[in-house]
Amino acid sequence: MKKVFGRPKNLKDAVFHYCPGCGHSIVHRLIAEIIDELNIRGKVIGVPPAGCAVLAYNYFDIDMGEAPHGRGAAVATGLKRSLPDRIVFTYQGDGDIAAIGTAETIHAANRGENITVVFINNGVYGMTGGQMAPTTIIGQISTTTPGGRNKDRDGVPIDLSEMLAITNGTVYIERTAVDSPKNIIRTKKAITKAFRVQMAGLGFSLVEVLSPCPTNLKMSPVQANEWIGSKMTTHFPLKVIKDTVGKL
């Protein structure tokens, strides 16, 4: 019998700690597949965030160095400047990258650090139990916005990817989602391209992935995916935000 589907080589034989329906498991798998396909295990160094995905190193069979909350881009800068021929990526949630780590991210992008960022946007602080995130959408209920996010009190969700796009050092930024098979395939293509941008030495690349957090949205996995398509994408449209590279 021919094997048509299996565990990616660079995904350890471990059970994910993520909740049922969580998008992290999908994106982890995609990244492991990409590392396999690009054959870069021996060159890649990953930087996990603080947040649910801090344990990413329990799953990826690659070198990984943990960054303090939000400082992924600064740690990655140090790694990449020390080893310019290695492939350095950070894996960061919305709170990590778009709240506490905004400064490190914008300046690494503006310097054009030749690193790749996988930005998981699920609109909520997952690990700490469902507080308002910088990307929580207007009206969305969280444990710290019990009546829904209010524009006047809480501000509007921050468009970090668009902000990064206007800096000179970024070359490729795309927003995708993992709410459907079609979008999962699109996400894999985008992350692959982001890695290839770095391998070609072209500059800062980032893929923002809208990702379901059913537990903290207090929805079923199916409802959470539907919520991404019907609500989240109205504020965060899926699109190529910046591409100065073209075809690779």
Partner 1 sequence: MGKKILLRGSHVIAEAAVRAGCRFYFGYPITPQNELTEYMANALASLSDGVFIQSESELAAINMVIGVSMTGRRVMTSSSSPGISLKQEGISYLSGQELPAVIINTMRGGPGLGNIAPSQGDYFQATRGGGHGDYRTIVLAPGSGQELADFTRMSFEYADRYRIPVVILGDGMMSQMMEPVAFPDPIDPKSLPQKPWVLDGAEGRPSRIIRSLILDTSAMEEHNWKLFRKYEMIEREIPEVELFLTDDARLTVIAYGTASRIAKGAIKRVREIGLKVGLLRPKTLWPFPKRNLVEMSRVVTDFLVFEMSTGQMLEDVKLSLEGRRRIHFYGRPGGIVSTPDEIAKVINNIYFKEGLERE
Q: Is 71 in the site for partner 1 (CB under 8 A)?
A: yes
Choice between 87 and 217, CB closer to partner 1: 87
3-state secondary structure of 207: strand
Q: Is 14 in the site for partner 1 (CB under 8 A)?
A: no
x/- track of binding to partner 1 for residues 94-113 (CB under 8 A)? ---------xx-xx---x--
> What order do you get walking across the sheet with 204-210 strand by strand?
44-47, 87-93, 116-121, 204-210, 170-177, 239-243
Query: Of residues 25, 77, 176, 198, which one binds partner 1 by CB under 8 A?
Result: 77
User: Shortest Cβ distance from residue 185 to partner 1 (Å)?
Assistant: 27
Partners of 243 in the β-ladder: 172
Q: Is 65 in the site for partner 1 (CB under 8 A)?
A: yes
CA atoms of 168 and 204, how far apart (whole Å): 10
Does residue 17 contact residue 25 with C-beta atoms inside 8 Å? no
Does residue 15 contact residue 46 with C-beta atoms inside 8 Å? no
Instruction: Determine the interface stretch with partner 1 among 74-82, 139-147, 164-172, 175-183 (rule: CB under 8 A).
Output: 74-82
Instruction: Determine the interface stretch with partner 1 among 52-60, 176-184, 190-198, 201-209 (rule: CB under 8 A).
Output: 52-60
CA geometry: angle 201, 202, 205, nearest 5 deg: 110
Binding site for partner 1 (CB under 8 A): 41-45, 47, 54-55, 57, 60-68, 71, 74-83, 86-87, 103-104, 106-107, 111
